[in-house]
Chains A and B, each alone.
Chain A
Amino acid sequence: MSTPTGNERFDPSTTLWRDGRPVYDRRDTVCVVGAGASGLAAVKNLREHGFGVDCYERETSVGGAWNWRHDRSPVYASTHLISSKPFTQFPDFPMPDTWPDYPHHSQLLSYLERYAAHFDLLPHVWFGTEVVKIEPADDTSWDVTTRSSGGYGSERTHRYLAVVIANGHNWQPKVPTFEGLDEFRGQTMHASSYKDPKELRGRRVLVVGGGNTGCDIAVEAATAATQTWHSTRRGYWYLPKYLLGRPTDQVNDRMQAARLPLGMRQWLAARTLRLTVGDQSRFGLPKPDHKVFETHPIANSQLIYHLGHGTITPVPDVRRFHRSSVELTDGRHVEADVVVFATGYLPRFEFLAPEILGADEHGRPTLYLHAFPREHPTLAVAGLLQPDSGLFPLVHWQTVLIARWLRLRDRDLQRAAAFWSRASADVGKRWNRARVKDSTRHWFEVNHVDYLRELQRALDELSPATATTARSAR
């Protein structure tokens, strides 16, 4: 698959040394970590801007989280997209017209495989290779240490012009600790290991977590399990997947296109939901304690349906576990055989010293546009976003920005410095006008319109002015 081509690939004559081990200089090549959606977009856009790229992927195929064969993949058999096609696809590689509005996860994998083949990205990916360490070298370049996945084989270190980290943030399960969890005799699992409703058939199931995954699993349990409880910390706004006859996100973007102020959009959305979905508290759900758009949107048409049919019982947060039951904050006990924690994921960069990304004591990185660390202009993180729409359009333009930025650093140091000092002032900004809830779930929550407008501004600043003037002068 990936075979060394040409003489310059890993030329041993350019060997440097670090801690008594050889470092192979890859000169102007950029290293990309991960060949999931974000990694592939990074490879493609860096190539398009003329960079050589080495991409390291620990698995033996592309697709990252969307490849159900990967042991870190969180998808379950029925996973469908929650954003409709125009928000899901890369802006320069549309999904086929024949696909439904909300594709299945297997379609998404084949989409990524076709993307990689179409743009000839596979020769740049080193499969079955995991990144062990990323350390700054003397100047602004980086030493990347890799080895075969699984830990056997020797480690090798290469020096790169820049590094783009695209290792995903939906693979390290976040499992809450509860008192009495050890003595609980039922089965507990994190949503990441849930794959199929067969596992729930004929059992009494408690699903913990009101995110999109929690709601999906609750809906699956409703048709498979004998009884389903769905525990949420607060009331959420449950958006149906279709509103006014169109995919909901497309309706919402019509309002955003009109540049209605946030307050008015929130009022309109709440009003529309009230008219179509109705009063959620009728179904036993708590009233949302926040306005629409202040938590990550939950797109699920079936949850309300099952609540209305009594096949899902809404319950409040879990207080503690007992031997044979789970105690809730309202004092009720539910006797569940299976507890599924759909409690989300945490980002993890085990190959990087935490201070490089400016991480605080909770491990939350501080970055400009959730991509650029303040102290390291040649390091970037791609796809570390929780948009209120699909991720791919955002990560596409984000990686275009990374490529343009690296190009500009190479060509025009003065303009690059001006951009960087402006950008440093915006490090840690949130790109979301709504006051989103402060939880790990919402660390990277961005409004796609706010975020893309800022990306547009940054891209314009970095646009190759020299190339454009040369063209118009001709």
Chain B
Amino acid sequence: MTSVRIMRTRDWADPVPPARRELLTATPEIADEGKPPVLFVPGFGHGAWAYAEHWLEHAAARGFAAHAVSPRGHGASAPAPKATLRAYAHDVVQEAARLPRQAVLVGHGAGALVVAHALARYPAKAGVLAAPVFGGWGTLGLALRRNLFGTLPAAFGGRLRLGRRQLFGRELPDAQARGYAKRVGHASAKAQWELLRARPPEHPVGDPPVLVVGTPDDRVVPRTALDKVARRYGGAPLLFPGMGHDLMLDARWQEPIDAILDWLEKDGN
């Protein structure tokens, strides 16, 4: 592995055009100077709303200034049908650099890959990859097996539809799961293709500690993929059995976020 790539002609000659972004924030009642701000990044199709359900408030209650960004084309951000992974990572780095202090980046699903790309452009305090989808053809294969008709259009540049049984565990009430699944949109076709091509992210700058969390019962990310990502960052994944892919929306949402915040208090600083 080369140390770091500093020739970034594409960033210089062809910078990502600006776009309006949605940022949701939960501020702790008593600001704790020792705790870094946390920036949550949702996966493909999700918006900042996914974190606003539980995780933002919970992190704030534990003394962390918590923010969630919707990358362009997601949530209430400006529509961006031609956005690339690079544009999503740009949105994350922009919001991170706007925070008053060095931030922790937390990404979920394909948002974890966006965070991995952002870590190569911004020296985060720490990185957390939750149920990371780093892409590749294996991801497509699994998705086709689990949900043929939701996935097939995506393989031809259409939209990817994730079923509620792919995203949530059995403990989440059906009505709630249906409600969440309805809110899930889709990323740009270009970004979906880039996910399949799986260009590996560059090495993180500033050598931040990176934590990988996931669940062995994830119907989007197989256990092997989880281990592979964790190995890449020199560790083993932290597992929460019985949960679905959407850790932040599932019935037992509190366990993973508590584990992440515990880790930040202990190692991330």
The residues of A with any CB-CB pair to B shorter than 8 Å are 48, 85-87, 91-94, 96-98, 117-120, 249-251, 253-254, 256-257, 397, 400, 404, 449, 452-453, 455-456, 459-460, 462-464, 468, 471-472, 474
Contact = CB atoms under 8 A, between A and B. Distances in A.
Name the 9 nearest CB pairs between A and B, nearest first: A463-B3, A97-B18, A257-B9, A253-B13, A254-B13, A471-B234, A86-B15, A86-B12, A253-B12
A37 B143 CA distance: 49
A468 B101 contact: no
A408 to B, nearest CB: 11
A469 B97 CA distance: 31
A86 B97 contact: no
B266 interface: no
B2 A48 contact: no
Contact of B97 (A94, A462, A463, A471): A94
B98 interface: yes
Given A250-B14, A471-B234, A460 B8 contact: no
A464 to B, nearest CB: 7
Contacts of B207: 48
Contact of A48 (B1, B15, B18, B123): B123
B122 interface: yes
18 contacts: A86-B11, A86-B15, A91-B6, A93-B97, A94-B94, A94-B121, A96-B97, A96-B98, A97-B19, A118-B100, A118-B102, A119-B123, A250-B15, A397-B6, A460-B2, A463-B4, A471-B234, A472-B1
A455 B2 CA distance: 13
Interface of B: 1-15, 18-19, 90, 93-94, 97-102, 121-123, 205-207, 231, 234
A185 B68 CA distance: 65
B71 to A, nearest CB: 13
Q: Which of B4, B19, B93, B205 has the most CB of A within 10 A?
A: B4
A92 B120 CA distance: 8
Contacts of B121: 91-92, 94
A118 B36 CA distance: 11
B100 to A, nearest CB: 6
Nearest to A50: B207
Contact of A253 (B9, B122, B231): B9
Nearest to B103: A118
B141 to A, nearest CB: 27
B92 to A, nearest CB: 11
B6 A250 contact: no
Contact of A94 (B93, B102, B205): B93
A87 B12 contact: yes
Contacts of B2: 460, 463
Contacts of B94: 94, 96-97
A92 B122 contact: yes
B103 to A, nearest CB: 9
Q: Is the interface of B mostly helix, strand, loop or mixed?
A: loop
Contacts of A472: 1
B18 A93 contact: no
Contacts of A453: 7
B3 A464 contact: yes
A460 B3 contact: yes
Contacts of A87: 12
Contact of B12 (A97, A250, A460, A468): A250
Nearest to A117: B100
B7 A118 contact: no
Contacts of B206: 48, 92
A440 B152 CA distance: 65
A472 B233 CA distance: 9
A93 B6 contact: no
Given A92-B123, A117-B100, A397-B6, 12 more contacts: A48-B206, A86-B15, A91-B6, A96-B97, A96-B98, A97-B18, A119-B102, A254-B9, A400-B4, A456-B7, A463-B3, A474-B231
Q: Which of B205, B206, B231 has the most CB of A within 10 A?
A: B206
A253 B94 CA distance: 23
A449 to B, nearest CB: 8
A463 B6 CA distance: 13
Contacts of B19: 97
A400 B81 CA distance: 37
A459 B6 contact: yes
Contacts of B13: 250-251, 253-254, 256-257
A46 to B, nearest CB: 12
B7 A254 contact: no
Contacts of B15: 85-86, 250
A455 B10 CA distance: 18
A303 B4 CA distance: 41
Nearest to A250: B13
Nearest to B1: A468
A5 to B, nearest CB: 14
A117 B101 contact: yes
A427 to B, nearest CB: 22
B4 A459 contact: yes
Contacts of B9: 253-254, 256-257
Contacts of A400: 4
A85 B16 CA distance: 11
B83 to A, nearest CB: 14
B122 A254 contact: no
Contacts of A404: 3
Contacts of B18: 97-98
Contacts of B123: 48, 92, 119
Contacts of A468: 1
Contacts of B231: 474
Nearest to B15: A86
B167 to A, nearest CB: 31
A120 B101 CA distance: 7
Contacts of B1: 468, 472
Contacts of A96: 94, 97-98
Nearest to A394: B6
B154 to A, nearest CB: 29
Contacts of A117: 100-101
Q: Which of B18, B94, B97 has the most CB of A within 10 A?
A: B97
B89 to A, nearest CB: 11
Q: Which of A97, A254, A456, A472 has the most CB of B within 10 A?
A: A97
Nearest to B122: A92
Contacts of B102: 118-120
A364 B94 CA distance: 40
A464 B3 CA distance: 8
Contact of A93 (B12, B14, B122): B122
Q: Which of A118, A254, A397, A472 has the most CB of B within 10 A?
A: A118
